[in-house]
Every structure is written in structure tokens, then in C-alpha cells.
């Protein structure tokens, strides 16, 4: 299933995309694509999707999961991205977070913070937890997954690397976490270790990669994180990016107001964001 949340920010409703590609309203069957409902998505598969009310196809699409508890990100998790950054793959995953105020819809604007000169892009595979996970093994890990989605891990590199302290302040600016458009259930995703992923800026291909070069794979990441803290339904793990980020170019290239960022992952849909200056 391809699950969607649609409507004004903060008032999104649950929806589903049918085989015809049209968005339909799921409100009569589930309150939201969030929390404990993520552990019982199989119950939605018995619904006759074609009988559901159609939604205006021009409606705003929100983040594909609501009420996210933890938004966890993994750094330098692609061998080819680590190489372009001139850094070695860490002996254990680098973990940081995005604050929830960064999370937005897949097509909402990227807001460039005041004074920013190094706002960058990162297409990433995000994993959504659907079942409580604590001290799980790698063999058990995928049983805890509700589905997968696209995240653009927008990053302000000066805030991240030049202003001391933790990465989080360069990762958590408003609208630095476009998420969606769909939450795709595992049965429709296929092999998560061979998904093509890409990102364009103003129509020019910047990132072109595959999850095959991911160093720490999804089962390992879920197991690893669950040794430190409990993962709850609705928690999100964004698993890193392939090469082609602006910081790694010679000379570096960064986003400015008016730029259009388009990105996608095979089977998970596409995002498109216009960059705007913060007021």
C-alpha cells in the first residue's frame, strides 16, 4: 500500500493511492497514519480502495507519518559518499537527530535560514517503525518495520560543521525534513538493498546512487539503535545519502532562493521543493 497524509499542515487526513494512481480518503477506516495504527496496516489491505472517496488531486501532501516521536538520522552511511567527503566510514554508525519542527511535506518549500550560505541537499531512504523494538536482533529487525519513505535530509553545512557542538543545529532548521510523499509497505518495496535514488537541482542531476552502497544496512541499524533506546511505532530512521551533495563538489555548490530540488527513490515516489528565504 502507498499511504498518504493530505491537507493543511497540522490538520492532515489519512489517504491511500490506488492502482489507478489516484488519492483516496481513508478517514473512515483509520484516524491517522501514525502511532499504533502503523502496527496494524495489514488490516487496511482488505479495504476496497476503489470504493473510497476521491480526494482533490491538487491537495497539499503532508509528511507521510504523523506524530513522529523520534526522527533519527545516520551520517556517512554510504561508502561512496564518505569518500567524496574525504572521510573514512566510522566503526559504528554516526547518529544524530532532526527536531520534529523540521519535518514537513514532500513538496513544501525548503526555507533557507537567515544568513545561510551553505544549505545543502541529501536524498535518503527513511524507515518507519511499526512495532516496538527493544534489544531486537538483526533477524527480528525487519518485522518491526511499517514501511519506507523518502527523506530529503536538508543540511546547513556551516551550522553543522563550522560552529562547534553537535550536527543537530545544522540539520533541524524549519522545513529541513521533507518526508514522503508515500509510506510504502514492505510488500510493495521489494529489495531494499538495491533501490535506485536520485536528486536534481534545477533539472541538473546531482545525486545518482543506490542503497547497495549503504554500509550499515537497515536490519543492522534497527538492531543497533534498539540496544540504546526503545524504538516506538512512528519513529523514523533516515539511513544516509549517496554521493553528489553540494558540499562534496569542487567548488562546493549550495542552494539559494528560487532553486528547485527534485528527488526520488525507485518505488517510493518523488518530492519537489522550491527554495525560499526565511522571512
In this structure, what CATH number is given to the domain that contains residue 79? 3.90.850.10
Split at pLDDT 50, 70, 90, the class of 166 is confident
Residue 40 lies in a domain: no
Q: Which residue has the higher pLDDT, 142 or 82?
A: 142
In this predicted model, what pLDDT tens digit does every residue of 207-229 receive, in sequence order? 999 999 999 999 999 999 999 99
Residue 20 lies in a domain: no
The answer on pLDDT for 80 being more than 80 is no
Residue 30 lies in a domain: no
Q: Which residue has the higher pLDDT, 46 or 220?
A: 220
Q: In whole angstroms, give the CA distance from residue 196 to residue 208.
A: 8
pLDDT in the model for residue 8:
96
Q: In whole angstroms, give the CA distance from residue 150 to residue 145.
A: 15
The answer on pLDDT for 165 being more than 80 is no
Residue 9 lies in a domain: no
The answer on pLDDT for 270 being more than 90 is yes
Mean pLDDT, the chain, integer: 95
Neighbours of 59 (CB within 10 A): 15
pLDDT in the model for residue 78:
87
Q: In whole angstroms, give the CA distance from residue 196 to residue 212.
A: 9
Residue 80 lies in a domain: yes
Residue 170 lies in a domain: yes
Q: In what order do the strands lie in the sheet with 23-25?
A: 23-25, 13-17, 2-6, 183-184, 145-152, 123-129, 236-238, 71-75, 94-97
- The C-alpha cell 536528486 sits at 199
pLDDT in the model for residue 167:
86
Split at pLDDT 50, 70, 90, the class of 162 is confident
Residue 219 lies in a domain: yes
Split at pLDDT 50, 70, 90, the class of 31 is very high
Instruction: Specify whether the CB–CB gap between 221 and 127 falls below 8 A.
Output: yes
pLDDT in the model for residue 83:
73
**Residue 174: C-alpha distances to residues 111, 240, 277 (Å):** 7, 20, 11
Q: In whole angstroms, give the CA distance from residue 129 to residue 36.
A: 10
- The C-alpha cell 503532508 sits at 62
Split at pLDDT 50, 70, 90, the class of 32 is very high
Mean pLDDT of 44-73: 95
Q: What are 176's strand-pairing partners?
A: none
- Please, what is the Cα angle at 264 between 263 and 267, to 5 degrees? 170
The total of structural domains in the chain comes to 1
Q: Domain span at residue 223?
A: 65-277
Mean pLDDT of 241-270: 96
Mean pLDDT of 146-171: 92
Residue 125 lies in a domain: yes
In this predicted model, what pLDDT tens digit does every residue of 8-18 receive, in sequence order? 999 999 999 99
Amino acid at each position: 500500500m502507498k499511504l498518504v497524509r493530505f491537507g493543511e499542515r497540522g490538520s492532515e487526513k489519512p489517504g491511500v493511492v490506488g492502482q489507478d494512481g489516484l488519492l483516496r480518503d481513508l478517514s473512515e477506516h483509520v484516524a491517522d497514519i501514525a502511532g499504533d495504527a502503523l502496527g496494524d496496516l495489514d488490516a487496511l489491505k482488505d479495504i476496497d480502495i476503489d470504493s473510497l472517496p476521491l480526494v482533490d488531486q491538487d491537495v497539499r501532501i503532508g509528511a507521510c507519518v504523523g506524530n513522529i516521536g523520534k526522527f533519527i538520522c545516520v551520517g556517512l552511511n554510504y561508502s561512496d559518499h564518505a569518500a567524496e567527503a574525504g572521510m573514512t566510514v566510522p566503526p559504528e554508525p554516526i547518529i544524530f537527530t532532526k527536531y520534529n519542527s523540521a519535518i514537513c511535506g514532500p513538496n513544501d518549500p525548503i526555507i533557507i535560514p537567515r544568513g545561510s550560505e551553505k544549505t545543502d541537499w541529501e536524498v535518503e531512504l527513511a524507515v518507519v517503525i511499526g512495532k516496538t523494538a527493544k534489544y531486537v536482533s538483526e533477524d527480528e529487525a525487519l518485522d518491526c518495520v511499517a514501511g519506507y519513505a523518502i527523506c530529503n535530509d536538508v543540511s546547513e553545512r556551516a551550522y553543522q560543521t563550522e560552529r562547534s557542538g553537535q550536527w543537530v543545529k545544522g540539520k533541524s532548521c524549519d522545513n529541513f525534513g521533507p518526508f514522503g510523499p508515500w509510506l510504502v509497505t514492505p510488500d510493495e518495496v521489494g529489495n531494499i538493498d538495491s533501490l535506485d535514488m536520485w536528486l536534481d537541482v534545477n533539472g541538473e542531476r546531482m545525486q545518482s546512487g543506490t542503497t547497495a552502497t549503504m554500509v550499515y544496512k537497515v536490519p543492522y541499524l534497527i538492531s543497533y539503535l534498539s540496544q540504546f533506546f526503545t524504538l516506538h511505532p512512528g519513529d523514523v530512521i533516515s539511513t544516509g545519502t549517496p554521493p553528489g551533495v553540494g558540499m562534496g563538489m569542487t567548488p562546493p555548490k549550495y542552494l539559494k532562493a528560487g532553486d528547485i530540488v527534485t528527488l526520488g527513490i525507485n518505488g517510493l515516489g518523488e518530492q519537489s521543493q522550491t527554495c525560499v528565504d526565511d522571512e
